[in-house]
Structure 1
Amino acid sequence: MKKSGVFFVGLLLWFNCFSQSCLPEGIIFETQAQIDSFPINYPGCTMIEGSVQIRGAEITNLLGLGSLTRINGFLFINGNDNLTDLTGLNNLTTPGGRLAIWGNIGLQSLHGLESLDSIHGDLLIYDNNVLSSLDGLDNLVYIESSLDIGYFIFEHPLLSNISALSNLSYVGVDVIIWSNIALENLQGLEGLSQINNDFILYNNSSLNSLAGLENITKITNHLEIGQNYQLENFSGLENLDSIGGCLTISDNHLLSNISALSNLQTISGCIYICENENLQSLEGLENIDSINLLCRIGNNNVLPNLQGLNGLTYIDGDLSIIANVNMNSYAGLDNLVSISGKLALNSNGLIQNLSDFSNLRNIGGSLVIHFNNALTSLSGLEGIDSLGNGLTITSNHNLMELDSLIHLKSVGGEIIIDNNKWLTSLHGLDSISAGSISDLSITNNDSLTECAIQSICDYLISPNGNIDIRFNKTSCRTRQEVETSCLTGIEEPLTNTNPTSIKIYHNTSSDLLFIENAEIISRSQVSVFNMNSQELIQQEITLPTTAINISHLPKGYYFIRFSSDSLVKVFKIVKR
């Protein structure tokens, strides 16, 4: 019994002697001599309490660090031009912080990290010019923060696979794989079922498959897939169910479809699909019924329509459809009811009308229709009754009329009508309340002759901002011409078999309209119309002088019609 006790005490003393921590302040290795002398200078040290940086152009191996099982701080391995692998770290199971391996121009493999099972920080692998695989990370299971494989200065020209990550089952924050120009697929990520922040696949110019992502069902923030020039489809993402942020698909030159996203149910942020020059369809997004923030679809050269967005009813932000040169319809937006922000329809060269917006009822921001060369009418916008931040219709060279905006009553900002070559009339904007217009610009519309509509005339009486009217056709060339047109149109008596003197005048101080006639004419009445021929007031005339209260009418131009069995006279007044 006494011998056993002595043996136990001896073993404990040996363990304390030969298994211990050191360097609470950390250490920087800059020479091979420092590496080689580590076991001599720190005998029995298996755990460095602080952080470790290995950076030295003359360092060729890490064999002197073979006793280390743990580093409590970060581990940086960078700028080691002659280091070819990480042999020597074979017993290291975990760094307590970030593991960053970058700028090692001779590093060919990560052999030496086979015991590594967890990283309590980020794993960053950057700028290792001749690294061809991640072999050595085969037993890595857990990354507390982000996985980031890419470059700051140099691309990874030889990294062709990441299959060594096949045991990885958890990444706590981002997965970012970028500028690995030899990487062809993502096999090695099969153990991940959820991305806990952003998932970014960017500028992997040889990536032709998303194989390896089959088990991912959820991305809690953004999914960005861009500049992967060989990627033709999204096969591998068939089980993705939700994206908590934005979906960005941009500049993937061979991408023809995104149908593999057909199980995607929610996108809680924006959609940005731009510059995919061979994208032929948005089918795969049918289950998305609402989008928060921006929806932008632009510069997809062969995209013919928006089929695939058929389930979309609400956008809590802007919708911009821009520079899709072969888009011939907006089919796919047939069920869209409300946009809380701006609707911008710009440079979609084959669109002739807006009939696919027939169910749209609300635009909370501005409506911008710009440079759509085939557009001849705005039919499809009949359901819009208000805008939140202005109306801009510019450089639509074949647009001939605005009649489909006839139910628009408020614009909430400026009106800009510019450079619409064949537009002849502003009819369609008649019902807009002048008080909802801030600035007014009507310029460079070569065929425009009818500007004197109710809303414009009313606005010119009491403008709320700047006015710019010029370079249009006769009657619309200047503000003065439009104001003159607003004052014309007084109708002469149609019949006058019983001549009498009818006088109508407006007392501005009391807001009363007085009608005087020398004698009572049987069955006489007076009516007040706006310039859209809507009858606003009707009253019988029974006395030589009749007063009508028009204080409830907004400022503007009005027609006053006096009629009887033998006389009809029409006057025009301005309520200022």
Structure 2
Amino acid sequence: MKHYYFSALALLAVAFSYGQCPPAGLNITSQAQLNAFLVDYPNCTQINGDVIIDEANITNLNALANIVTITGALEIREVPALANLNGLQNLQTVGTDLILREVEGLSTLAALSSLTSVGGEFTVRSCPDLVEFNGVNNLMHVGLGMIIRDCESLTSIEGLSNLTFVGEILEVVENPVLTNLMGLENIMTIVGGEEGALVIEGNAMLTSLEGLGNAYTVMTGDVTIAANGLLSLCAVPSICSYLQNPSAGALITINTNLLGCNSQAEVETACTVLDTDYFTETVVPFRIMQNPVKDVLQLHSTEANGTVVIYDALGRKVGTYNLQKGIHAYSVENASGLLIVVVESGEYKQAFKVLKP
């Protein structure tokens, strides 16, 4: 009986270990190591920590096919033999950064079809075979920067059409055959950070900023639009709205583009002669400017009169405030966890879910 007892415990321990995930992320250095992950952790769906694949001879990511969440970063750098991201088709959230850099053979992002949120920076840089962004159509939220740089074959970013929130900076830089920014039309908020809110620079074939946000896009930081050799149309609703009321102290750099977009004054002049119908779109009156939040919730409103009521996950009211027009901060320092923010003004009413760690 004792022998049977200990055997049962041993079998239980083995079964238990197979149901777990690695305790501190993954640092992948070979294909064999990556393949062993699926054998060792066949039921793992959440990796707590970072997944780093750097300077490795990796040809496929199939062993990650069960992963839904990575709480830390996913970094794939200098992996020349990787042609696609197959194996990441179930990945929905990345807690911090998602970096694809110097992945020279990468031709498609189609495997990222389930991705909805990147908590930190989403960078696609120096991927010379990448032609388009199709595949990231469900991505809605980037907590810090959305960086698209040095992709010499990139012709389209239309796959970003559901992206609405960028927590700091949007950069589209040194993509020599990209001709337009269609795919960014639904961005409602670019919060801005130390490096600014928007950088459109060094895109040799870019002729127009059409597709960049809309009349109700809010940007609150520096803007650089420079050294785009064929760019002549910058007077689009998002830029015109920004130039009407830039954030205090913002540095605006518009130069070395073609006539019509070669200075701030040229763009402002072009904005004044646009038909007002060009700016007519469905009004989105309220926007949350960050999520998760810390001690204050920043909310942008196009309306001046109304209320902001904040509830916790149990439906208890934790704060009631008068709605103010523009960007204003509302205290949530006495709350934690999942919060429901209900904003109401006249005919408009909207509820948001935000997280306060």
Q: TM-score, normalization: structure 1? A: 0.42
Identify the match of residue 240 of structure 1 among 145, 159, 163. 163
- Is this contact kept in 1: 2:235–2:267, CA < 8 A? no
Identify the match of residue 253 of structure 2 among 309, 320, 327. 320
Identify the match of residue 178 of structure 1 among 74, 98, 101. 101
Pair 1:13–1:322, CA change in 2 (3 A): same
Pair 1:132–1:10, CA change in 2 (3 A): same
> 1:334-374 CA deviation, whole Å, 9 max, x = no partner?
xxxxxxxxxxxxxx4xx7x94653699xxxxxxxxxxxxxx
Q: What is the CA–CA distance in structure 1 between the aligned matches of 2:230 and 2:269, rounded to whole Å?
A: 24
Structure 1 residue 217: Cα displacement? 1.3
Aligned pairs (5 A) from 1:541-560: none
Match of residue 45 from structure 2: 117
Other structure's SS at 2:246 match: strand
> 1:61-90 CA deviation, whole Å, 9 max, x = no partner?
xxxxxx9x74xxxxxxxxxxxxxxxxxxxx
- Is this contact kept in 2: 1:176–1:201, CA < 8 A? yes
- Is this contact kept in 2: 1:92–1:113, CA < 8 A? no
- Is this contact kept in 1: 2:180–2:207, CA < 8 A? yes
Match of residue 14 from structure 1: 7
Identify the match of residue 211 of structure 1 among 117, 121, 134. 134
- Is this contact kept in 2: 1:121–1:145, CA < 8 A? yes
Gaps of 5+ in 1: 1-5, 21-45, 47-66, 71-90, 331-347, 361-576
- Is this contact kept in 2: 1:213–1:237, CA < 8 A? yes
Structure 1 residue 13: Cα displacement? 2.5
- Is this contact kept in 2: 1:93–1:118, CA < 8 A? no
Pair 1:355–1:294, CA change in 2 (3 A): closer
Q: Is structure 2 residue 209 aligned with structure 1 residue 282?
A: yes
Q: What is the CA–CA distance in structure 1 between the aligned matches of 2:175 and 2:143, rounded to whole Å?
A: 23
Pair 1:290–1:359, CA change in 2 (3 A): farther
> 1:379-423 CA deviation, whole Å, 9 max, x = no partner?
xxxxxxxxxxxxxxxxxxxxxxxxxxxxxxxxxxxxxxxxxxxxx
Q: What is the CA–CA distance in structure 1 between the aligned matches of 2:255 and 2:8, rounded to whole Å?
A: 70
Structure 1 residue 141: Cα displacement? 1.9
- Normalized per residue, the structure richer in helix is 2
Gaps of 5+ in 2: 272-357
- Is this contact kept in 1: 2:188–2:218, CA < 8 A? no
Identify the match of residue 112 of structure 2 among 189, 198, 204. 189
Match of residue 459 from structure 1: none
Match of residue 156 from structure 1: 79
Other structure's SS at 1:315 match: coil
Pair 1:112–1:295, CA change in 2 (3 A): same
Other structure's SS at 2:111 match: coil
Q: What is the CA–CA distance in structure 2 between the aligned matches of 1:246 and 1:171, rounded to whole Å?
A: 18
Q: What is the CA–CA distance in structure 1 between the aligned matches of 2:225 and 2:122, rounded to whole Å?
A: 20
Other structure's SS at 1:236 match: helix
- Is this contact kept in 2: 1:109–1:135, CA < 8 A? no
Aligned pairs (5 A) from 1:242-261: 242-261=165-184
Q: TM-score, normalization: structure 2? A: 0.66
Match of residue 329 from structure 1: 260
Q: Runs of 4+ in structure 1 displaced over 3 angstroms?
A: 9-12, 15-20, 107-110, 287-290, 353-360
Q: What is the CA–CA distance in structure 2 between the aligned matches of 1:92 and 1:289, rounded to whole Å?
A: 45
Matched AA of 1:314: N
- Is this contact kept in 2: 1:265–1:287, CA < 8 A? no
Pair 1:15–1:297, CA change in 2 (3 A): same
Equivalent pairs, count: 257
Structure 1 residue 258: Cα displacement? 0.6
> 1:478-508 CA deviation, whole Å, 9 max, x = no partner?
xxxxxxxxxxxxxxxxxxxxxxxxxxxxxxx
Matched AA of 2:240: N
Q: What is the CA–CA distance in structure 1 between the aligned matches of 2:93 and 2:70, rounded to whole Å?
A: 6
Pair 1:287–1:12, CA change in 2 (3 A): farther
Q: Is structure 2 residue 304 aligned with structure 1 residue 304?
A: no
Aligned pairs (5 A) from 1:442-457: none
- Is this contact kept in 2: 1:179–1:203, CA < 8 A? yes
Other structure's SS at 1:191 match: coil
Match of residue 78 from structure 1: none
- Is this contact kept in 2: 1:261–1:284, CA < 8 A? yes
Identify the match of residue 222 of structure 1 among 145, 152, 163. 145
Q: What is the CA–CA distance in structure 1 between the aligned matches of 2:25 and 2:81, rounded to whole Å?
A: 24
Tell me which of the two structures has the higher relative contact order, counting C-alpha pairs closer than 8 angstroms and 6 or more residues apart: 2
Match of residue 268 from structure 2: 357
Deviates more, 1:112-121 or 1:193-202: 112-121
- Is this contact kept in 2: 1:263–1:287, CA < 8 A? no
Structure 1 residue 250: Cα displacement? 0.4
Q: What is the CA–CA distance in structure 2 between the aligned matches of 1:148 and 1:355, rounded to whole Å?
A: 41
Q: What is the CA–CA distance in structure 1 between the aligned matches of 2:51 and 2:255, rounded to whole Å?
A: 39
Q: What is the CA–CA distance in structure 2 between the aligned matches of 1:355 and 1:135, rounded to whole Å?
A: 51
Aligned pairs (5 A) from 1:79-118: 91=18, 93-102=20-29, 104=30, 107=31, 110-114=34-38, 115=42, 116-118=44-46
Q: CA RMSD in A?
A: 2.5
Structure 1 residue 310: Cα displacement? 3.0
Other structure's SS at 2:204 match: coil
Residue identity (%): 25
Other structure's SS at 1:95 match: coil
Q: What is the CA–CA distance in structure 1 between the aligned matches of 2:270 and 2:133, rounded to whole Å?
A: 37
Larger Rg: 1
